């Protein structure tokens, strides 16, 4: 059996997450039992939700247990199988966590899914054709429910969710505007991701200044907003929402470290008869097949071309993750393991 | 023609609304044209939304025009008619405004509605069987969508909306908890309105203290909340909402004067996958017949017994209105004119 490098959560962040919260552990992969398969991970997905799980707070996700391997999505290859449904060489997506190998009870519902890499690269199953893509799909289709000609906005626009959101929104005939950090990301949003406009929030010191830029980019106001960040950005967008606007709340990354960020003017919810709804895509498994089908088609036809930020080797995972929380990634953040 | 006393909006509030924002004007009622009726108002309704209209700000309602009669719901009696559908003596509900008489183009859709006072007192058509009752109905049924056994909460619990909410919520088998100001209102909520519990927010200096009281009153958490006030109360309730909770936002009375009140911890929307939706009942006229039917039955059968605070004479309207904004009323605030 191969030796397995894995990262445990060693201690919980006090304020900002730091590299020393994680501990690299070397272990043996246990022998397989009936029904199990051994997967070698090609890529590990790093996602903002992991920061929430590092806290021991009441939240939607179970807190990550201390002294155990950090959870996380993985794609890889079956290298040993004692399960009739999987053979060596199968490409699979699962929740293998921050480690090089995982032993999976492959009969458990949702534990491991075979994927086809003929038209879609394996890593895309962690991004555009995986959880982030389905997240964008659910928020746009099931909460925002866009109409042709409406204006849609997404924050963290060049990330895995934002780029899928853009492709899905454009496919529905909506003006699609992004918010991202820095001129390079904004140029990429326009040139590669199909956004009609992209606003660099780093040029703005406060919500009023950002709101002014939003007004210019969205002369007809904002009908739908996909929220990934919270804080100043949410305040600014809220002030530009049209009557009967819909906001899908998927992330509040700005508030993960330390003090919660307030919403300055909640009375706008009433004034503009807004609907604001939080969701977690893993609680809506019934829509995954339909969403994955559309996303797979968009990727195969190159209408959805997400960029990836790839760190190399499991040892690089903590720094890549901390960079993601600070917006240093560019597109979907992955760690390539093999 | 009778002389008519009316209140105009003379100037807009700077911060808190004051009596001198209004000006009493004596005028003649004009002679009727074809299709019109002359209504003598028995009661004028005073409602929190009027405060919003006094500002010249972008909001859902048109700002009240300066130098014109304050808008408002009225019930009264037709005393002269040049409309085939109305005869002298008809009891009617309409938007007659802050005045003793109004001339109504009675063919206009929604301008004037005949009501039956056999089982329902005339004034109830401004409260339980009127706009406030339908407001409670819409928020509970169309936004919160309660399930048997869930816990429902409403702020401003002893007001016209709150008391209708309690009757409607209890009729659906929900634990129903109110928030009100002072021991007298809380006792009334329990003894007369059928609430299972009522919390006196005036006993609490901050959201954390109020949240603790909510926890005791709602041991199973809160599934639905009808928001009338905003501010500290909203912060406290939000912290006690269950996963998949629904909040209908009908009022933010705490924020009408002066500075907007922030929402302290919007990340809870995501953590608990909440839905928050603002609404204005006048934009959903299609549900009024169904709502009024249930509300009328509840009033006629005495399952819904709202209290009224009655000021006497049009001259008393401004002070009664300012008292309403400070929560000095007890139940539906009316002005009796004739």
Strands B175-180 and B151-155: parallel
Is A190 exposed, middle or buried (CB count within 10 Å of its CB: 0-12, 13-18, 19+)? middle
Chain A residues touching residue B271 (CB < 8 angstroms): 52, 58-60, 278
CB contact under 8 A, A263 and B260: no
CB distance B271–A58 less than 8 Å? yes
Spatial separation of the C-alpha atoms in residues B14 and A30, rounded to whole Å: 73
Contact B268, B274 (CB under 8 A): yes
Residue B252, pLDDT above cutoff 80: no
Per CB-CB distance under 8 Å, the chain A contacts of B263 are: 262-263, 266
In chain A, which residues have their Cβ closer than 8 Å to the Cβ of B280?
A: 270, 273
> Looking at the predicted structure, is the pLDDT value of residue B58 above 80?
no
Judge whether B185 and B207 are in contact, CB under 8 Å: no
Query: Quick check: ipTM above 0.90?
Result: no
**The two three-digit tokens of residue A160, written as one number:** 């895995």
The number of C-alpha atoms within 13 Å of A238 and in the hemisphere containing its C-beta is 27
Q: Is the dihedral of CA A218, A220, A226, A228 positive or negative?
A: positive
Out of B230, B269, B280, name the one closest to residue A276 (CB).
Answer: B269
Task: Select the residue from A267, A272, A276 to test the B interface by mutation, using most B Cβ atoms within 10 A.
Answer: A267
Confidence (pLDDT) at A52: 86
Distance between A2 CA and the closest CA of chain B, angstroms? 38
**What's residue A255's pLDDT?**
57
pTM of this structure = 0.89
Closest to A256 measured CA to CA, from B250, B194, B265, B198: B265
Å from A254 to nearest chain B CA?
Answer: 10
Task: Quote helix, strand, coil % in chain B, to nearest 5.
Answer: 30, 30, 40
pLDDT at position B319 is 97
Residue B15's pLDDT is what?
Answer: 87
Pairing verdict, β A91-94 and A275-278: unpaired
Look at residue B281 and give its three-state secondary structure.
Answer: helix
Placement of tokens 């009225």 in the chain? B74
Regions of chain A where pLDDT drops below 50:
none
pLDDT at B153: 98
Nearest chain B residue (CA) to A269: B278
A271 at interface of B, judged by CB pairs closer than 8 A: yes
CB A20 within 8 A of CB A11: yes
Query: Does residue A236 belong to the interface with chain B, where contact is any CB pair within 8 Å?
Result: no
Chain B within 8 Å of A84 (Cβ-Cβ)? no
Interatomic CA distance for residues B66 and A306, integer angstroms: 55
Q: Give the chain B residue whose CA is nearest to the CA of A267.
A: B252
Do B101 and B39 meet the contact criterion of CB atoms below 8 Å apart? yes
Question: In this complex, is the C-beta atom of B269 within 8 Å of any C-beta atom belonging to chain A?
Answer: yes
Q: Does residue A277 sit at the B interface (CB-CB below 8 Å)? A: yes
Disruptive mutation site among B266, B268, B276 for chain A (greatest number of A CBs within 10 Å): B266
**Binary contact (A271, B60; C-beta < 8 A):** yes
B8-18 per-position pLDDT tens digit: 999 999 989 99
Chain B residue at shortest CA distance from A276: B276
Query: Does B243 contact A274 at a Cβ distance shorter than 8 Å?
Result: no
A263–chain B Cβ distance below 8 A for any pair:
yes
Decide if A171 contacts A141 (C-beta within 8 A). no
Mapped onto helix, strand or coil, the DSSP state of residue A12 is coil
Per the prediction, chain B carries an average pLDDT of 94
Q: Are A282 and A310 in contact (CB under 8 A)?
A: no
Reply yes or no on whether the pLDDT at B257 is more than 70: no
- B266 to A263: CB separation less than 8 angstroms, yes or no: yes
Find the closest chain B residue to A264 by CA distance. Answer: B262
**pLDDT value at B1 more than 80:** no
Residue B100, both tokens: 């003793």
Beta carbons of B310 and B46 less than 8 angstroms apart: no
- Token pair 């390079």 is at which residue? A184
pLDDT-based confidence at B59, cuts 50/70/90? low
pLDDT above 70 for B200: yes
Residue B199 has pLDDT above 60, yes or no: yes
Q: List the single residue in A with minimal CA-CA distance to B231.
A: A266
The domains located in chain A, with CATH, are 3-127+307-336 (3.90.180.10), 131-282 (3.40.50.720)
- Percent of chain B past pLDDT 90, that is, above it, reads 86
Residue B126 pLDDT grade (very low, low, confident, very high; cuts 50, 70, 90) = very high
Residue pLDDT, tens place only, B313-324: 999 999 999 999
Q: Report the residue of chain A nearest B270, measured CA to CA.
A: A278
- Kindly determine whether residue A60 and residue B271, on different chains, have CB atoms separated by under 8 Å: yes
Distance (Å, whole) CA B117 – CA B307: 18
Other CB atoms within a 10 A radius of the CB of residue A17 amount to 20
CA dist B265 → A82, A252, A254 (Å): 48, 10, 12
């Amino acid at each position: 059996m191969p030796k397995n490098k894995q990262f445990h959560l060693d201690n919980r962040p006090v304020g900002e997450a730091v590299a020393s919260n994680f501990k690299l552990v070397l272990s043996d992969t246990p022998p397989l039992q009936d029904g199990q398969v051994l997967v070698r991970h090609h890529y590990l997905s790093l996602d903002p939700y992991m920061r929430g799980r590092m806290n021991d707070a009441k939240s939607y996700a179970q807190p990550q247990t201390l002294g155990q391997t950090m959870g996380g999505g993985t794609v890889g290859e079956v290298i040993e199988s004692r399960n009739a449904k999987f053979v060596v060489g199968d490409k699979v997506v699962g929740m293998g966590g921050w480690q090089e190998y995982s032993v999976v009870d492959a009969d458990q519902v949702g534990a491991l899914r075979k994927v086809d890499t003929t038209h879609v690269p394996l890593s895309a199953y962690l991004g555009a054709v995986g959880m982030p893509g389905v997240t964008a799909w659910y928020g746009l289709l099931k909460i925002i429910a866009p109409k042709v000609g409406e204006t849609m906005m997404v924050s963290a626009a060049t990330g895995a969710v934002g780029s899928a959101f853009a492709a899905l929104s454009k496919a529905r005939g909506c003006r699609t505007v992004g918010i991202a950090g820095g001129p390079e990301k904004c140029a990429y949003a326009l040139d590669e991701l199909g956004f009609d406009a992209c606003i660099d929030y780093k040029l703005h010191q406060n919500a009023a200044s950002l709101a002014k830029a939003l007004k210019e980019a969205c002369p007809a106001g904002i009908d739908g907003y996909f929220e990934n960040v919270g804080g100043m950005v949410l305040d600014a967008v809220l002030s530009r929402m049209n009557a009967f606007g819909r906001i899908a709340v998927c992330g509040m990354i700005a508030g993960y470290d330390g003090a919660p960020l307030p919403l300055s003017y909640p009375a706008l919810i009433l004034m503009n008869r807004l609907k604001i709804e939080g969701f977690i895509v893993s609680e809506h498994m019934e829509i995954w097949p339909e969403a994955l089908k559309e996303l797979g088609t968009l990727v195969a036809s190159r209408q959805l071309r997400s960029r990836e930020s790839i760190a190399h080797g499991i040892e690089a995972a903590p720094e890549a993750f901390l960079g993601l929380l600070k917006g240093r990634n560019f597109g979907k953040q992955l760690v390539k393991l093999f």
